[in-house]
Amino acid sequence: MTHPIIEDLTSRHTAKKYDASRKISEADLKVLFEAMRLSASSINSQPWKFIVIESDAAKQRLSNTFANMHEYNKKHVFDSSQVILFAHNPEYTREDYAKVVDKGIADKRTSIEKREAAFAVYSFAELNTDENGDTSTWTKAQTYLALGNTLHVLARLKIDSTPMEGIDIELVNKEFAKELAGYQCDVALAIGYHHPEDDFNAKLPKSRLALSEVLTRI
């Protein structure tokens, strides 16, 4: 099948080695960050924070978190252009959703007269809140929607990436506690440009299950 979207997604791969000499342009980063902001989420909850690690000092802090495990991903910290921490709100509340509602009013999506009515869908968040106020199962799922959107946009921009659940969650959240401000990071994403010789994965053909095995039309 030939289509620009399919071609971009076919060429997309998880980079195993980055070209440290190449950095993403500010113009492309601006597009990427705006696309991340526009990601879909349940009831438009937007229960996420994106922490972009790009300065040498921040990268050193992240590098230090690989002291005990997942050392195979450590090389991406300095070789990639940026690493993005994807974090979710583990205790999403009505007050958090109020920010979404009020932004909708400011954007003229919702009239101020219908402000209280706009909270009706918050019941879905309540259904996904346990007796201790923990919403992490639900909010983490929303953050993965943003991650998927980000991977697609990167493919369209011809920028390589490496999703990394292979991080020391405890150390990452401790090291970046100030920036995360109570949010929880369980996954990071390295972005940049793969090394033309040393990224073995870039040379391998794409392999996915047949469409007939994963999709049914009824």
Domain count, the chain: 1
What CATH number does residue 145 fall under?
A: 3.40.109.10
CB-CB contact of 193 with 160 (8 Å): yes
In a domain, 140, yes or no: yes
In a domain, 175, yes or no: yes
In a domain, 48, yes or no: yes
In a domain, 187, yes or no: yes
**What is the predicted pLDDT for the residue at 5?**
96
Tens place of pLDDT for every residue, the chain, 218 residues? 789 999 999 999 999 999 999 999 999 999 999 999 999 999 999 999 999 999 999 999 999 999 999 999 999 999 999 999 999 999 999 999 999 999 999 999 999 999 999 999 999 999 999 999 999 999 999 999 999 999 999 999 999 999 999 999 999 999 999 999 999 999 999 999 999 999 999 999 999 999 999 999 99
**What is the predicted pLDDT for the residue at 46?**
98
In a domain, 113, yes or no: no
**What is the predicted pLDDT for the residue at 58?**
98
In a domain, 124, yes or no: no
In a domain, 55, yes or no: yes
In a domain, 109, yes or no: no
Q: Which of 211, 193, 215 is nearest to 13 (CA)?
A: 193
- 178: domain range? 4-17+37-92+129-196
> What is this structure's pTM?
0.96
Output the CA–CA distances (angstroms, integers) from residue 125 to 49, 88, 102, 142, in the order listed.
18, 14, 17, 12
